[in-house]
Chain A
Amino acid sequence: MTKVSITKLTKNYGPGIRAVDSISLDIPSGEFVSLLGPSGCGKTTTLKMLAGFESVTSGGIAFDGQDVVSVPPEKRDIGMVFQNYALFPHMTVRGNLAFGLEMRKVPKADMDRRIQATLDLVQLTPYADRYPRQLSGGQQQRVAIGRALVIEPRILLLDEPLANLDAKLREEMRVFIRDLQRRVGITTVYVTHDQAEAMTMSDRVVVMFGGKIAQQGRPGDIYDYPVSRAVAGFVGQVNLIDGKIVGVDSGIARVDTPFGPAEVKAGHRTEGDPVTLVLRPEAIDILPADAAGGVTASVVASYFSGAILDYTLALQDGQTVDVKTIARQRFEPGAQVRLAVDAHRFWPLEVG
């Protein structure tokens, strides 16, 4: 198993065009890390530098402490899964799996055994002698993963592998890839712009904007404790509430909000400082108009999507908030309701 260290990695495309800006990242052996960000944030460029397809302007990449910056891709011992699968159309499934083993001059008997084991792993044994274009998108995807894994690479790199699949298959494949990665225990770097994908699959999410790492951490921590407006907005829906600190007591700051008082960690802030609070839509409870507690609001719009109902509501001061509830009780647009929030569900942003 391999540990990956990225130090001050930078990529310039010509003067003034910096795709990746001095990022540092340590990936422990066996960890599943997602690079998450909008297009152009440098996540794919970072992956290509890890694979060796993109030259490094400055900084270092080491596998198990051994520098690989000058090692060509064919000698890096990586398994890579491409967005469009990049299966060899002139080879059968078996031929695609055999290719990497042939490059490594694996003996025939050993090769057959490993191909069979991988076919079983990706559940493609009945399709071994088909050509890629005779397979469905999901099957092609599994061939691509099998082809990357059969060579038992040091690290597995995946470049938006689910982007071309339909929604249902995408969810199945998330679970499939995650299970497979856990079973094989391979160090994995996964590039995606889909926050749900990154959240469900990763041990750690690295959010990137403008070539820099904006925040990294466990999926739950990134979601609950985002550092910036951009991160908060990228990993799910968010209500941002501007307030002022009205008092600090033993490290806890009290903030007045339209929902009543909030209690957040004070950090370096003192009384009177402005602060922006993150409030996730599912942290707000909608109560009937005659309920006790909470603040009055009216339903502006509601969006039904099966298990979940998304509401847009207007507070009395005109501010709108988004609320996400399970679709058990429904309120029609125009209805008066009350909104209640626990004082501890707010989170203050480090930067505005």
Chain B
Amino acid sequence: MQSASARPRAYLLLLPAAILLIVFMAVPYLNIFVISFRNPGQGTPYADGYTLLNYTRIFTSTLYQGQLFNTLWIGLVTTFITLVIGLPVAFQLGRADLRWRGLAYGIVLSPLLVGIVIRSYGWTILLGNNGVINRTLINLGVIEFPLPLMYNSLGIIIALVHVFLPFMILPIMSAVQSIDPALVSAARSLGAGRVTVIRRILLPLAMPGIQAGCILVFVLSLSAYVTPAMIGGLRVKTMAVTVVDALLDTFQWPLGAALALVLSAIGALIVVIFARATRMRWKVQ
């Protein structure tokens, strides 16, 4: 129990984080929000005066809507695939009796040890029409023409799954590690077989980790830039790529800001809906 007089001083510890958040998160977001209502400029990032034009452009343009939809789709599919691949791995790594924990940890973290540009470049070598995968398959006579693995959503998803897998595995693994092994014994003593133990005990108790992993991978996929830019090329553009184009190439800051905000808003909405749907009543005070 803390005494009441100790409380204000304890809150002081939050000050550095609060300053960091306000200066480097809230202020830029506010700035973006204001810019998104600016008039487009001629040779300048934006002109004087305010308008809703940037938003009406987004909501009337099939191009932007398509990109938005595609970005969300890539995010959802990437999340789903990393969950399917990561869940069994995380459950194994979370076991108390695991040997070689250090090695397994290293393998899981390995995608993060190489810079994202190099890693994405590596995927272009593998996925291209003249890439390792297509070459091998053609040489083996499995296919006649190269499979379209690059410059499409499939290639982006493959690369994103690889990059973001650790962000799915680690939170689930730590949730599984925190489950008391006696719960499994208790369930078995009550008549539960192995599958029932997983379904009724381990999965629900790993839910906080699953939730965290899904949200992490989803938002990271939505905001990913380097990988979609390198693998999607000019053919498939995700929202993040289009936003950067608007800011740097075509110099339309107000449009770029509006696109970024719409993506953030929709992403946040999906995260909130997901979090509410997977809310754990037993965790709520």
A residues contacting B by CB (< 8 A) are 51-53, 72-80, 82-84, 86-91, 99-100, 103-104, 131, 147-148, 151
A150 to chain B minimum Cβ distance, whole angstroms, is 9
Contact for A84 among B180, B191, B201, CB less than 8 A: B180
| Nearest-CB residue, chain A, relative to B196 | A103
Contact for B185 among A80, A99, A104, CB less than 8 A: A80
State whether B187 touches A99 (Cβ < 8 A): yes
From known contacts A53-B185, A82-B186, infer whether A90 and B191 are also in contact, taking CB-CB under 8 Å: no
Q: Of residues A51, A74, A131, which shows the largest number of chain B Cβ atoms within 10 Å of its Cβ?
A: A74
- Which B residues touch A53, using CB under 8 A? 185, 188
14 contacts between A and B (CB under 8 A): A52-B188, A73-B189, A74-B191, A79-B189, A80-B189, A82-B185, A82-B186, A86-B186, A88-B186, A91-B282, A99-B190, A103-B191, A147-B190, A151-B191
| Nearest-CB residue, chain B, relative to A51 | B189
The 4 tightest CB contacts between A and B, nearest first, are A103-B191, A100-B190, A86-B182, A86-B186
- Which B residues touch A74, using CB under 8 A? 188-193
- Interface magnitude class on chain B: 10 to 19
- Which A residues touch B188, using CB under 8 A? 52-53, 72-74
From known contacts A90-B282, A91-B282, A131-B282, infer whether A82 and B191 are also in contact, taking CB-CB under 8 Å: no
A73→B197 CA distance, assembly (Å): 13
A88 to chain B minimum Cβ distance, whole angstroms, is 6
Contact for B204 among A77, A90, A100, A147, CB less than 8 A: A90
State whether A89 touches B205 (Cβ < 8 A): yes
State whether B185 touches A86 (Cβ < 8 A): yes
A91→B205 CA distance, assembly (Å): 10
Which residues in chain B, 260-285, are within 8 Å of chain A measured between CB atoms?
280, 282
Which residues in chain B, 183-211, are within 8 Å of chain A measured between CB atoms?
183, 185-193, 196, 200-201, 204-205
State whether B183 touches A103 (Cβ < 8 A): no
- Which A residues touch B190, using CB under 8 A? 74, 99-100, 103, 147, 151
The secondary structure that dominates the A interface is: loop
A135 to chain B minimum Cβ distance, whole angstroms, is 13
A234→B183 CA distance, assembly (Å): 32
- Which A residues touch B185, using CB under 8 A? 51, 53, 73, 80, 82, 86
| Nearest-CB residue, chain B, relative to A144 | B186
State whether A78 touches B282 (Cβ < 8 A): no
B180 to chain A minimum Cβ distance, whole angstroms, is 6
Contact for A90 among B189, B193, B196, B205, CB less than 8 A: B205
From known contacts A74-B189, A74-B192, A79-B189, infer whether A90 and B182 are also in contact, taking CB-CB under 8 Å: no
State whether B186 touches A80 (Cβ < 8 A): yes
Q: Of residues B180, B201, B282, which shows the largest number of chain A Cβ atoms within 10 Å of its Cβ?
A: B282
Q: Of residues B180, B189, B204, which shows the largest number of chain A Cβ atoms within 10 Å of its Cβ?
A: B189
A132→B271 CA distance, assembly (Å): 29
Contact for A103 among B182, B192, B205, CB less than 8 A: B192
A159 to chain B minimum Cβ distance, whole angstroms, is 9
A86 to chain B minimum Cβ distance, whole angstroms, is 4
A49 to chain B minimum Cβ distance, whole angstroms, is 13
| Nearest-CB residue, chain B, relative to A72 | B188
State whether B186 touches A90 (Cβ < 8 A): no
Per-position 1/0 for B27-68, Cβ under 8 A of A: 000000000000000000000000000000000000000000
A87→B190 CA distance, assembly (Å): 12
A270→B1 CA distance, assembly (Å): 68
A76→B190 CA distance, assembly (Å): 9
- Which A residues touch B192, using CB under 8 A? 74, 99, 103
- Which A residues touch B189, using CB under 8 A? 51, 73-74, 76, 78-80, 148
